[in-house]
Chains A and B, each alone.
Chain A
């Protein structure tokens, strides 16, 4: 089992709708969780991190963490075409960040 798993997509979402990105991880010892956005040809940009069970909101983004289920998600409200990118889920295990392969998100105008 891969340490961090994401559906590669593409996930197509109409403009204005909620995009839901999911990620599971295998190591229960993982301490913190990150979502990065990567546009084609650019380096990843950290958009959210979460440590505790529950929801964390920042603008149109909400990260959700469920440690019992080893599941972390990212919701993007009011999706915009500029949100079209690859979203990388990552977990921190002993100060080493393990990345998933990313989900390609396509917002349909």
Chain B
């Protein structure tokens, strides 16, 4: 399978500040990155999809100016939560697209970033 890393794993920030989350595909190149958010005991929610070198596509209800996504290379994507508020406290997970050796499409997740906004 594919190896995906995220940094930081956990971050606490004050309300009004910005936080950047990095997601790296360590042993493959990803043309597409999916960013998810998960609130406690709730389902995964897709926030946005980004393709390398182009602008991200945001799901309905997700503010593109608040959640800035950069996918500048095939191995790195970043999500910046700008002017964070306590309601942004959540578990953020990235998931790059991955094509297996047999041409199968698979999706693996990063370990996630737990954001707490105080």
Known contacts: A43-B93, A88-B44, A95-B97. The answer to whether A51 contacts B109 by CB under 8 A is no
**Majority secondary structure of chain A interface residues (helix, strand, loop or mixed):** strand
Chain B residues within 8 Å of chain A by Cβ, number: 20
Contact A97 B34 (CB under 8 A): yes
Q: Which listed residue, A32, A41, A99, A102, touches B105 by the CB 8 Å rule?
A: A32
Q: Residues of A contacting B104 with CB < 8 Å?
A: 32, 49, 51
**Which residues in chain B, 84-118, are within 8 Å of chain A measured between CB atoms?**
91, 93, 95, 97, 104-112, 114
Chain A residue with minimal CB distance to B99? Answer: A95
Chain B residue with minimal CB distance to A49? Answer: B106
Contact B112 A42 (CB under 8 A): yes
Chain B residue with minimal CB distance to A101? Answer: B43
Contact A46 B108 (CB under 8 A): yes
Whole-angstrom distance between the alpha carbons of A32 and B103 in the complex?
12
Contact A99 B108 (CB under 8 A): no
Q: Which listed residue, B34, B106, B112, touches A43 by the CB 8 Å rule?
A: B112
Q: Residues of B contacting A92 with CB < 8 Å?
A: 105, 107
A10 to chain B, nearest CB (A): 12
Question: Per-residue CB proximity of A89-101 to B under 8 Å, as 1/0?
Answer: 0101001110101
**Which residues in chain B, 36-72, are within 8 Å of chain A measured between CB atoms?**
43-44, 49
Contact B43 A44 (CB under 8 A): no
Known contacts: A51-B104, A95-B32. The answer to whether A43 contacts B109 by CB under 8 A is yes
B9 to chain A, nearest CB (A): 10
Whole-angstrom distance between the alpha carbons of A39 and B51 in the complex?
29
**Best-surrounded residue of A90, A92, A95 (most CB of chain B within 10 A):** A95
A29 to chain B, nearest CB (A): 14
Q: Residues on A close to B: CB < 8 A? A: 31-32, 34, 36, 41-46, 49, 51, 88, 90, 92, 95-97, 99, 101-102
Given A31-B105, A101-B43, A102-B43, 7 new contacts (CB under 8 A): A43-B110, A43-B111, A46-B1, A46-B106, A90-B107, A97-B34, A97-B95
- 10 A-B contacts, Cβ less than 8 Å apart? A41-B114, A43-B109, A44-B109, A46-B106, A46-B108, A49-B104, A90-B107, A92-B107, A97-B107, A99-B43
